[in-house]
Amino acid sequence: MKISRVSLLIAALMLPASAIAAPGGKAGSAACIKGKVLTAFQMRMLQTELVVGALSCKLTPRYNEFVTAYRTDLMSAHRTLMSHFARESRLEDYKSRTANEVSQRSLANITEFCNYTTSLYDKLLGPEKIRLGDFVSGEPSANRHGQNACGTPSIITASSGGRLIPMPRMKPEQPAAAATAPAAQ
């Protein structure tokens, strides 16, 4: 029996999303990342932010100082991402997409971008060396990596491959007075 391509396409479209394997062989939507892999993506995104800032804002000496100060952490993150992507070309594609996204943001308002990048360098290269893993977990620019982090909503960026990733809708909080007032009978 010969099955046409159209029939296969229709059959594939009718499959529930949970039946389609995501990268890494797991069923469902793209697997979420956490732990060491999430931290590696955050470090990579912060590094991308800083390198674009170095080039766009003439801060190259500060970038060099950052790389020297955090070389061990950055190399560990790179090895984790190499393992995650399984091929260097995939990692390089990801790095290019995120660099383009950061560059587009810098072009939208270069003054604000340079001020922000300078403040990042000030925090990272201050008198006391900070733990980079702890820093990136709370840094908004480091969390624009476009990956599905376990337990957090996704951020729409160019690194998400241009796919629209809907943000969850949150119920508005009730005013404190209304929440504590007894119900009228």
Q: For the stretch 76-110, what's the b/e string if a residue is b when 16 or more beta carbons lie within 10 angstroms of its beta carbon? A: bbbebbeebbeeeeebeebbebbbebbbebbeeee
DSSP state of 173: P
pLDDT of 2: 53
| Over residues 47-55, mean pLDDT | 93
Domain locations in the chain as residue ranges: 33-160
pLDDT of 33: 74
Residue 132: how many other CB atoms lie within 10 Å = 24
> Could you tell me what percentage of the chain is helix, strand and coil, using 3-state DSSP and rounding each to the nearest 5?
60, 0, 35
CB of 162 closer than 8 Å to CB of 47: no
pLDDT in tens, 69-124: 999 999 999 999 998 888 888 888 889 998 999 899 889 999 999 999 999 999 99
pLDDT in tens, 167-185: 333 444 444 444 455 555 4
pLDDT of 35: 83
* Residues, the chain: 185
pLDDT of 30: 63
The larger pLDDT score, comparing residue 180 to residue 8, is at 180
DSSP state of 130: P
pLDDT of 110: 92
Tell me the Cα Rg of the chain.
Answer: 21
pLDDT higher than threshold 60 for residue 25: no
Look up residue 3 and give its two tokens. Answer: 């099955």
